[in-house]
Amino acid sequence: MSDFKPTYLPSRRPAEVVDCRELTDGVVRLTLRDEFIAANARPAQFVNLYTTNEQRLSPRPFGVCQAEGDTFTLMFAVVGKGTEEFRHLRPGQTVDVLGPLGHGFDLTRSANYVLVGGGLGVPPLIRTAQELKGREDAGCTVLFGYRNVHFADDDASRWCDDVRSIDESEGNVVALLDRWAAENGITADRDGVLRPVAEGERPFVILTCGPLGMMKAVSAWARERGLETQASLESRMGCGFGTCVVCTVHTTRGILKTCYDGPVFNTAELEGWEAAR
């Protein structure tokens, strides 16, 4: 994964609230002003937000959704007392932040990147599409799955011309992948014989973030077709920077920390991801 690390990481500090609005029931987009995070946050890196309640010791980690000028945007679901507090932030107020943290997606290759997200796994992929925009050596396709409201399509469309989405009334992201694969002549080969990449043709690389079951299904789908997959894992984190050792994950390199060694991993190195969907 990307080895990018800022040479200097500021400590926890207040960030000004620029905007806070509800996109749909229980899904909030929060824009904060912090020049360092806006300039340095790479796709799938995250930031910690801290509540004002001193009894809530652990911060809440959120993947960066977009970064422009001296501001950056987060998108999150209201699921508890901490996120409920953030939901009521208003412009001009401040909230304590730390970041950017973790290792993001590896976008160094010349490739056609296919960004597959589900639910609140979509924000880091929007930041990825933003990073890929304008690159002549890379392509970008966005495939999002929702429960019902397609709340992130407009944000993704700012950065990628090929944005497709599906909700539970139609199917899931694997069905969307099947449609995309049919258009691009990509077929499953369960005998392990990979379709060779023609000279001058960019390989396809899958980048995924979302519910664990969805990411495992996407990884298995990609493996059947000989495609590399990078997954941005979600995990309960106590600190967010590798100290508390709460968010461990078993890999072929041993037991690693999701927050510090990830959150992005190549799925080929994740133990327990081998089973077919």
| pLDDT attached to residue 7 | 59
Q: Kindly list the distances between the CA atom of residue 170 and the CA atoms of 74, 142, 147, 151, 220, in Å, as whole numbers in the listed order.
A: 28, 17, 10, 16, 21
| pLDDT attached to residue 178 | 95
Cβ atoms within 10 Å of 26's Cβ, excluding its own: 14
Reported as a single tens digit per residue, the pLDDT across 49-71 is 999 987 777 899 999 999 999 99
Type of residue found at 61: P
Structure tokens at 199: 């000279």
pTM as predicted: 0.92
Reported as a single tens digit per residue, the pLDDT across 223-263 is 999 999 999 998 888 888 888 888 999 999 999 999 999 99
| pLDDT attached to residue 201 | 80
Q: How far apart are CA 259 and CA 235, in angstroms?
A: 8
Burial of 224 (0-12, 13-18, 19+ CB in 10 A): middle
Structure tokens at 22: 């509800």
| pLDDT attached to residue 241 | 85
Residues in the chain predicted with pLDDT less than 70, given as ranges, are: 1-7, 189-200, 274-277
Q: How far apart are CA 87 and CA 80, in angstroms?
A: 11
